Amino acid sequence: MGEETARTTCALVAADLVKTYGATRALDGADLEVAAGEVHGLVGANGAGKSTLVKILSGAIRPDSGELGIGDWQGSHASPRQAQELGLATIYQEASLVPSLGLIANVMLGRESTRGGFLRRRRDRESSAEVIRRVGLDPTARTVAGELSPAEQQLLEIAKALHREARVIIMDEPTAALGIEDTVRLFEVIKGLRDAGVSVVYISHRLDDVLAISDRITVMRDGRRVTTVEADESDEASLVKAMIGRALERQELRARSRGAAVLELRRVGQGTRLRNISFTLHAGEVVGVTGLVGSGRSRLARVLFGAEPFDQGEMFLEGEPYRPSSPAKAIARGVALVPEDRKRDALLLQQGAGKNIVLAKMISNSLGLLRLKRENQEAGALMRRLQVKPPLPSALPASMSGGNQQKVSIARWLHAEAQVLVLDEPGQGVDIAAKEQIFEVIHELAVQGCALLVISQEIEELQQIADRVFVMRRGEINAELAADEVTEHRVVEAAMGATIEETVKGVRA
């Protein structure tokens, strides 16, 4: 299909949408046009209104005003069921799969016909198997959805959408938890969908991914569209400028002086999942940890934080044996973790953001009431710095966008004055400007003498902040790279035992 014909028909239209929550204008006249058979990127800072737009399109919420078009249908609101029947499917970051069911059962879920009998059910099973195959999974595998990797779960969600004959698939931050191998795989499937005439709306804070996969990109700011551009004619710098209204300079944040040894691990292991982990972390340094999903990075973090046990080796904190039996014990010893799954970091959604931020410190220091007031002011300053929207300690996380909740969760631990701070994917889900601020705070904490372990699969992030990087593979530290050795090639080789070219070829084969 030629470009021109593809664009003459719109698969999805949003015109002049307005949505307010009290005094907040989540959408302030937002527009979007998605052509049939196009991959359309949607970007914007945290709180720009992306998810609100998606929720309106999918029927989850009703706009105050504005018009929608899905295929030939036009109106101001479609119910979720109607939107689905019109061919719209939405894939959120939190999978809607049932972990204990198999692949085919998940695809068929909610669609099984109680009537219709044996033949019909068999046809349904066959068509389910067909879409599962189409996204590159094996329908005959005797696995349940819960055992799939995050990437495979997303592929299964796509299969589900295909089985419902979706003509437009919206993905709200689909690659947040995916490594490079998985991202390549997901992109291959998305391209296949586009070639079959399906439209994909792709929302992500990873601008290089958005540029790579999209035909066109719409940039939102403050509830409105700033511009829609051809991906070919755009680049990261111009997207950032449209998103935040200014250019962003990336600062070199390395070069610190290393202090005394703080945390030491000697041959630490957990079954076969973590093996033989030995290293020493010094005050004032930022050590990066990377590796594929499942290589043991997050598990190592949870062991350090007392959230999981270890059964081999020893740990020492300032020379004293360290064997935390719970996160509370770890916090009491000055060890903190910003978990990857920040939804489970249990923000008190109905308590002010400021209170959430001072909470961790209260646990470790038992603050008096007088100090609490000052702490609250500091929390407010940190919120302004990370550009939390709105930047008020009284604001409830429940009414914040996903990325802004993440910032509050990160601020909580940045504020906790830990001696050892472990951050699991601190850049995930937050916009590029906030990420820069988070990295600056990480750097300042190191300068003040904190020892930091930063887990990230973004090589650029590690290049920016880490003094050295551990690359994990199958539960072990497979390589330690000095700052100037951290290149995409070195990291990928150590993480997979193969070159990027081989990996990409393997995925495509």
Report the residue closest to ligand ATP, judged by CB: 403
58 binds ligand ATP (CB under 6 A): no
44 binds ligand ATP (CB under 6 A): yes
Q: Of Mg ion, ligand ATP, none, which one does residue 154 interact with (CB within 5 to 8 Å by kind)?
A: none
175 binds ligand ATP (CB under 6 A): no
E strand segments, 183-300: 199-203, 216-221, 224-230, 261-270, 274-282, 286-291
104 binds ligand ATP (CB under 6 A): no
48 binds ligand ATP (CB under 6 A): yes
For residues 334 and 420, the answer to whether their CB atoms sit within 8 Å is: yes
Q: Is 361 exposed, middle or buried (0-12, 13-18, 19+ CB in 10 A)?
A: buried
Q: What CA–CA distance (Å, rounded) separates 375 from 84?
A: 48
Residue-by-residue DSSP string for 233-253: G--HHHHHHHHHSS--PPPP-
Identify which of residues 28 and 314 has a Cβ nearer to ligand ATP in the complex. 28
Question: Least distance from C-beta 18 to ligand ATP, angstroms?
Answer: 12
Sign of CA dihedral 342, 62, 387, 394: negative
475 binds ligand ATP (CB under 6 A): no
26 binds ligand ATP (CB under 6 A): yes
Q: Of Mg ion, ligand ATP, none, which one does residue 63 interact with (CB within 5 to 8 Å by kind)?
A: none
Question: Least distance from C-beta 141 to ligand ATP, angstroms?
Answer: 33
Question: Least distance from C-beta 188 to Mg ion, angstroms?
Answer: 25
456 binds ligand ATP (CB under 6 A): no
426 binds ligand ATP (CB under 6 A): no
184 binds ligand ATP (CB under 6 A): no
SS3 344: helix
Sign of CA dihedral 261, 445, 340, 347: positive
Tokens of 309: 């046990």
360 binds ligand ATP (CB under 6 A): no
For 81-116, b/e burial (b = at least 16 CB within 10 A) is eebbebbbbbbbbebebeeeebbbbbbbbeeeeeee
At residue 262, φ and ψ (nearest 5 deg) are -115, -50
Single out the residue of 88, 127, 84 nearest to residue 104, CA to CA.
127
For residues 131 and 163, the answer to whether their CB atoms sit within 8 Å is: yes
Question: Least distance from C-beta 51 to Mg ion, angstroms?
Answer: 3
Single out the residue of 187, 126, 178, 184 nearest to residue 158, CA to CA.
187
50 binds ligand ATP (CB under 6 A): yes
- Those residues with Cβ within 8 angstroms of residue 235's Cβ, 6 or more apart along the chain or in another chain: 211
Q: What CA–CA distance (Å, rounded) separates 20 from 55?
A: 13
Question: Least distance from C-beta 459 to ligand ATP, angstroms?
Answer: 23
244 binds ligand ATP (CB under 6 A): no
- Give residues 369-408 in contact with ligand ATP (rule: CB under 6 A): 389, 399-404
Q: Of Mg ion, ligand ATP, none, which one does residue 134 interact with (CB within 5 to 8 Å by kind)?
A: none
Q: Of ligand ATP, Mg ion, none, which one does residue 404 interact with (CB within 5 to 8 Å by kind)?
A: ligand ATP
Question: Least distance from C-beta 59 to ligand ATP, angstroms?
Answer: 15
Q: Contact region for ligand ATP (CB under 6 A) — 19-27, 156-164, 450-458, 500-508?
A: 19-27
Query: Residue 3's CB: how many other CB atoms inside 10 A?
Result: 11
Tokens of 357: 């931020």
SS3 276: strand
Identify which of residues 334 and 402 has a Cβ nearer to Mg ion in the complex. 402
For residues 263 and 324, the answer to whether their CB atoms sit within 8 Å is: no
41 binds ligand ATP (CB under 6 A): no
20 binds ligand ATP (CB under 6 A): no
Q: Of ligand ATP, Mg ion, none, which one does residue 68 interact with (CB within 5 to 8 Å by kind)?
A: none
For residues 289 and 498, the answer to whether their CB atoms sit within 8 Å is: no
Tokens 């439209």, located at residue: 199
Q: What CA–CA distance (Å, rounded) separates 293 from 271?
A: 18
Question: Least distance from C-beta 403 to Mg ion, angstroms?
Answer: 6
Question: Least distance from C-beta 42 to ligand ATP, angstroms?
Answer: 9
Type and span of the H or E element at 406: helix 402-414
Question: Least distance from C-beta 203 to Mg ion, angstroms?
Answer: 7
Question: Least distance from C-beta 52 to ligand ATP, angstroms?
Answer: 3
Q: Of ligand ATP, Mg ion, none, which one does residue 389 interact with (CB within 5 to 8 Å by kind)?
A: ligand ATP
Question: Least distance from C-beta 410 to ligand ATP, angstroms?
Answer: 13
Q: How many residues bind ligand ATP (CB under 6 A)?
A: 18
Q: Of ligand ATP, Mg ion, none, which one does residue 24 interact with (CB within 5 to 8 Å by kind)?
A: ligand ATP
Report the residue closest to Mg ion, judged by CB: 51
21 binds ligand ATP (CB under 6 A): yes
Sign of CA dihedral 281, 283, 289, 294: positive
Q: Which of 11, 33, 51, 459 binds ligand ATP (CB under 6 A)?
A: 51
Q: Contact region for ligand ATP (CB under 6 A) — 21-29, 122-130, 320-328, 472-480?
A: 21-29
Residues that bind Mg ion (CB under 5 A): 51, 402
Single out the residue of 207, 204, 197 nearest to residue 231, CA to CA.
207
Identify which of residues 90 and 214 has a Cβ nearer to Mg ion in the complex. 90
**Residues in the site for ligand ATP, rule: CB under 6 A?**
21, 24, 26, 44, 46-52, 389, 399-404
